Amino acid sequence: MIPFGLTSSGEPAQLFVLQDRDGAEIALTDYGATLVRWRAPDRRGQLDDVVLGFNRVEAYAAHTAYFGAIVGRYGNRIAHGRFTLDGRTHELATNNAPAGIPCHLHGGRAGFDRKIWASEFRPHPTQPAVTFRLRSPDGDEGYPGNLDVTVTYTLVGAGELQIDYLARSDRATPVNLTNHVYFNLAGEQTESILGHLVTLQASTYLPVDAGMIPTGEVAPVGNTPFDFRAPCRIGERIEHPNEQLRLAAGYDHNFILDPRTDPLAPAGLVFEPQSGRLLEFRTTEPGVQFYTGNFINGSEVGKSGHAYGRRSGFCLETQHFPDSPNQPSFPSTILRPGQTWTSRTVYRLSTR
Ligand code: GLA
């Protein structure tokens, strides 16, 4: 446990470091249950940090891009910051406004990414882990019910980071938890992610309106720049004159993962040809928000003193679909008392 600075309210934050036998190293902080660092070998064995982030909690508190954080209670957008559940309408903070249209994003003004979580470090020779716990009280950011959340990060070996989520509530509430890590497989100090090759096992995705809320249509990816069923460079089609790419200023869409008999079968791959690093992800979630860092603008200076420019990191946020509480045709995100909400995502780094 290493001191990681003080939050704006003077709370001390801690850093936890996990190492596996292959030389990979992960660092996590209790501020936002955030993944701060992931050092992994390239094809020549050189270690680089492949996730965007900062060296001190003060920088996390000042920034707005959710680098590495757990986002919640509801990751992604809820239209107009409003939803009706069991006949009652709930008002949430509207902390985002694409095209001037206000919505709720990533849990509100002080979402789970801005809280200090309780932590438990579990050293282990082959599977070190950190468990983070948070109570989100009834009324937190407008959400109903006391929600207890547990997130465990385990370095399971062979370059795999497993993230397990669990939540329980004493009133019905929407829940959609994810990790908002930005990867750059060439190293976090590298300019751009446009040369990475992406494969996603997704035949459909969710087009959005001007406010970046899904229209409700489930659109086939075939013959569009959203077809990543075969590997394609991120930069290949990102500037195509496509209405959806224009609305989101690049990729920032939820892809519906094709049904898998084994829910933890690989759902996607990203390959960076220069370093040879390969990122694979698996998840029990039905969707993934593929975001290409379109809103990063060089104002955040990262851990190696390098300013993060537009599209210098990409996210694969495994999750339920945006705005589900207002979209009856989407899989439900409502957690009821007596139920346990669970979710697992695995990211694996290797080389080729
Ligand atoms: C998500 C959203 C993006 C953006 C980032 C944070 O990925 O979909 O539009 O808000 O978070 O900057």
Q: Which of 67, 70, 104, 105 to mutate to test the pocket of ligand 1 (most atoms within 8 A of CB)?
A: 105
**CB-based contact 253:206 (threshold 8 Å):** yes
Mean pLDDT of 228-244: 98
Nearest CA to ligand 1 atom 3: 252
**Cα separations (Å) of 109 from 113, 115, 142, 212?**
10, 11, 11, 18
Residue 326 has pLDDT above 80, yes or no: yes
pLDDT at res. 38 = 98
**CB-based contact 12:2 (threshold 8 Å):** no
Our answer on whether the CB atom of 315 is closer than 6 Å to any ligand 1 atom is yes
Nearest CA to ligand 1 atom 9: 252
Our answer on whether the CB atom of 121 is closer than 6 Å to any ligand 1 atom is no
Q: Which of 177, 251, 252 to mutate to test the pocket of ligand 1 (most atoms within 8 A of CB)?
A: 252
**CB-based contact 81:142 (threshold 8 Å):** yes
Our answer on whether the CB atom of 149 is closer than 6 Å to any ligand 1 atom is no
Instruction: Tell me what percent of the chain is helix, strand and coil, each rounded to the nearest 5.
Output: 10, 40, 50
Our answer on whether the CB atom of 295 is closer than 6 Å to any ligand 1 atom is yes
Topology classification of domain 2-351 = Beta-galactosidase; Chain A, domain 5 (2.70.98)
> How would residue 324 be classed by pLDDT, with cut points 50, 70 and 90?
very high
User: How many Cβ atoms are within 10 Å of 172's Cβ, its own excluded?
Assistant: 15
pLDDT at res. 282 = 98
Which residues make beta-bridge pairs with 289? 254, 317
> How would residue 125 be classed by pLDDT, with cut points 50, 70 and 90?
confident
Contacts of 232 (CB under 8 A, 6+ apart): 197, 198, 199
Domain boundaries defined on the chain: 2-351
Which residues make beta-bridge pairs with 71? 178
Q: How far apart are the first and last CA of the chain?
A: 33
pLDDT at res. 20 = 84
Active site residues per annotation: 180, 317
Helices (H), the chain: 57-62, 234-237, 243-248
